[in-house]
Structure 1
Amino acid sequence: MIKVIAKLTIKEDKIEELKSIIPELVAETRKEDGCLSYQLFQDVKNKKMLSFVEDWESNEALQRHMNSKHFQEAMPKIAELQEKEMELSVCTLVI
């Protein structure tokens, strides 16, 4: 299993715009073969901090996702709303 944690720092006045973009990305991603879980969380202390937490069956499934049309279309839109570059962690299960 592959776990992805993608941390976003969104411009304060763009948080609601981000929330309008995300539902389609999440819905389409959850339909993908190999997607076990795909969620977006917002930090309770810092509303500008949002994190995608994803579980994938394999690295191949993750790569297919990153090449998917909905991902490729959403990422430039999300990038425009960010205050700084996304922090991305791709992890494998240890225990």
Structure 2
Amino acid sequence: MLRLNVFIQVSADNRAAVMEAAKELVACSLKDNGCIAYDIFESATREDVLMICETWKDEESLAAHEKAAHFVTLVPKIQSLASMKLEKFSF
């Protein structure tokens, strides 16, 4: 299995738009084959930090997700409004 932690740093001006896009990304991604978990979290201590936590069955499932219409549309939208940092773990 694979775990991805995607940290998103966003300004107050862009936070609502990023949350809207991220929630749509979560809802669509949960339907992807091989998706075990996909959620967005808000920092309890920093209003400018969000995190998407993903768990995938395998590399093939993740690769298919990265080609899905919702991914190729919504991730660039989020990237245009905020900075993103990815951590990836296999277990």
TM-score interval, smaller chain: over 0.9
* 2:87 maps to which of 80, 86, 89: 89
Q: 1:14 maps to what in 2?
A: 14
Matches within 5 A, 1:1-95: 1-82=1-82, 84=83, 86-93=84-91
- TM-score, normalization by structure 2: 0.93
CA RMSD of superposed structures (Å): 1.0
The residue type paired with residue 29 of structure 1 is S
Q: Indicate conservation of the 8 Å contact 2:37/2:55, yes or no.
A: yes
Structure 2: state its 5+ residue gaps: none
- TM-score, normalization by structure 1: 0.90
- What is the number of equivalent residue pairs in this alignment? 91
Q: What is the percent sequence identity of the aligned residues? A: 27
